[in-house]
A and B are shown apart, each in its own frame.
Chain A
Amino acid sequence: QKEVEQNSGPLSVPEGAIASLNCTYSDRGSQSFFWYRQYSGKSPELIMSIYSNGDKEDGRFTAQLNKASQYVSLLIRDSQPSDSATYLCAVNEDNNNDMRFGAGTRLTVKP
């Protein structure tokens, strides 16, 4: 069974701090990686995609990928209460057509 693992949390950070979310995956053939945010009662929405080793920055969000360690992370700088949500890590293999999701990490940003 190919797995995508995340700490379920909850992760609590104060407003303005950096939130660090981590994800590991088991399939070395994985080629594309995504972070989704899901507010309570809503559907997941895409935040970041990353395909190559290294960092990718978009505003307050930075995704980091290390294929050798099979590890992908999401950093949220200057965290805001509106960032409070569940963050889902998703992984897509090269020769498969389904995207596998982790169980999600619930983040709470306290004012």
Chain B
Amino acid sequence: KAGVTQTPRYLIKTRGQQVTLSCSPISGHRSVSWYQQTPGQGLQFLFEYFSETQRNKGNFPGRFSGRQFSNSRSEMNVSTLELGDSALYLCASRKGGTNTGELFFGEGSRLTVL
């Protein structure tokens, strides 16, 4: 069974640019969550999608957005990049429905903003 797949794995952008990250969940998983991980802040929750609907959102500015498609694949977008957006962006999936299931993480997309 394939795991959570994130693309791209690494990318470098400059300030002011925008970036789109992609996540394919485990087959059958309908919930996709996104996290930002930095050395100073740890894992910070961005948002969670289930059946193409955003169910919850963390405390991030509106520059961070996401969406989910009918096949459960998800994308997140960061516009007007800032140096502080440099981080590992992790996508995680779970079966969904209830919120008590375990999260399974992808390998992450490491973003560097210059």
Tell me the A residues contacting B by CB distance below 8 Å: 31-32, 34, 36, 42-46, 49, 51, 88, 90, 92-94, 96-104
Given contacts A43-B107, A46-B102, 5 further A-B contacts (CB under 8 A): A46-B104, A96-B56, A97-B48, A102-B42, A103-B42
Majority secondary structure, B binding face? strand
From B50, B55, B100, B108, A92 is in contact (CB under 8 Å) with B100
Q: How many residues of B contact A (CB 8 A)?
A: 21
Most chain B CB within 10 A, of A44, A45, A51, is at A44
A49 smallest CB distance to B (angstroms): 6
- Given A96-B99, A97-B48, A97-B56, decide whether A43 and B108 contact each other with a Cβ distance below 8 A: yes
Q: B25 near A: Cβ within 8 Å?
A: no
